[in-house]
A = this chain, B = another copy of it.
Amino acid sequence: MCKTIQLRHGDGGIHTSKLINDIFYRYFGNPILLKGRDSAIFEMSKGRLAYSTDSFVVKPIFFKGGNIGKLAACGTINDLTVSGAKPLYLSAGFIIEEGFDIGQLERIVSSMQEVCSKTNTLVVTGDTKVLDRGSVDGIFINTSGIGSIYDNYNPDPIGIGDEIIITGGIGEHGTAIAIRRYDLNIQGNIKSDCDSLTNILVGIKKFLPHVKMMRDPTRGGMATSLNEIAEEQGIEILLEEDSIPIADEVKGVTEILGLDPYYLACEGRMILISEKGYGEKIVKTINKLENGKDAVLIGRVVDKSKGIVCLRTTIGGKRRLYALSNSMLPRIC
């Protein structure tokens, strides 16, 4: 077998078949995928489906806490999860540069499969394109996914007093990427939070009738996600600055680089808005779950007349937190 990807691996002929067999089928292999047809075919029972897609172009492709493959699987799985769905099936489309190291491809695909195994998700259909050197920067991955929405998730509109939860520290993915991208020599253990959120959804299943909104604050970070919700629902969200979990390393790195952690991508955190009075119970439940020990209430809905997000600062002031209005860090995911 070749050690690097060649143009012929993408031409649809016998070399493409070999690559599919040697790498993709070996890791993703499941009875639906292995039929090798133009489409995956499976039975679905009646119900509400969630369907999502994302392309991943992160640079560098390997970073502390993950790689582009882990990110591509988690990204789509999390989009389904925050829609209240159990993720079931994924598609995976690879665009690869001629000369790309097949060992690296294997690590990437293996990471994707780890996430799939952990979340009981199957990659059932895929595609590989190979481009000449210089036409694509290494590897890009698109995933799409289908999930089945839990019957007891039928969110009511958000109202005054509803409570805002974040499941862990913010900005860690963005910070891990920045450290690698700018070759910062930083002490400490900061790594990307990149992970699947499915266990958290499953863990709080009995509370779903009291959950009004879930989001994963990826590109644009927590501030942008909350502003989107506020604008869409015409609500004012008031956050308590002191309660927002931000690791010291994230504070340090963002200060050095002039970045703002509120706008830095998370790739394994969930924002959850719960019915008034349920926030603490949900937080306690999440605290017992993997990736949930730092979950905390960070604010509440205080008004229904305007779509804005405000921050009660440590010194007692109140300032508006806007949606991201200019580029932070490109190729974060």
List residues of A whose CB falls within 8 A of some B CB: 7-8, 10-16, 36-57, 59, 78-80, 82-83, 85, 89, 91-95, 124-127, 129-132, 134-137, 140, 142, 144, 146-147, 149, 215-216, 218-220, 224, 228, 232, 263, 265, 323-328, 330-331
Of B15, B82, B91, B131, which is within 8 A of A331 by CB?
Answer: B131
8 further contact pairs, Cβ within 8 A, besides A14-B325, A95-B95: A12-B265, A41-B50, A44-B48, A53-B93, A55-B129, A55-B142, A140-B140, A144-B144
Of B42, B59, B146, which is within 8 A of A48 by CB?
Answer: B42
Of B38, B44, B51, which is within 8 A of A83 by CB?
Answer: B38
Enumerate chain B residues within 8 angstroms of A131, measured Cβ to Cβ: 57, 137, 330-331
Enumerate chain B residues within 8 angstroms of A149, measured Cβ to Cβ: 41
User: Closest Cβ of chain B: how far from A329's Cβ, in Å?
Assistant: 8
Enumerate chain B residues within 8 angstroms of A330, measured Cβ to Cβ: 7, 10-11, 130-132
Nearest residue, chain B, Cβ from A98: B330
Nearest residue, chain B, Cβ from A78: B38
Pair B14/A324 contact, Cβ less than 8 Å: yes
**Given known contacts A37-B83, A57-B129, A129-B57, A42 and B51 CB-to-CB distance under 8 angstroms:** yes
Enumerate chain B residues within 8 angstroms of A85, measured Cβ to Cβ: 39
**Given known contacts A55-B129, A125-B53, A44 and B44 CB-to-CB distance under 8 angstroms:** yes
Pair A40/B11 contact, Cβ less than 8 Å: no
Pair B50/A327 contact, Cβ less than 8 Å: no
Enumerate chain B residues within 8 angstroms of A57, measured Cβ to Cβ: 95, 129, 131, 135-136
Pair B79/A52 contact, Cβ less than 8 Å: no
- Alpha-carbon separation in the docked complex, A135 to B97 (Å): 11
Can you name 28 A-B residue pairings with CB atoms under 8 Å? A7-B327, A11-B327, A12-B218, A13-B220, A15-B326, A37-B83, A38-B79, A38-B82, A38-B215, A38-B216, A41-B49, A41-B51, A41-B83, A42-B48, A43-B46, A43-B49, A44-B44, A44-B48, A44-B49, A53-B127, A55-B93, A57-B95, A57-B129, A57-B131, A59-B135, A131-B330, A142-B142, A146-B146
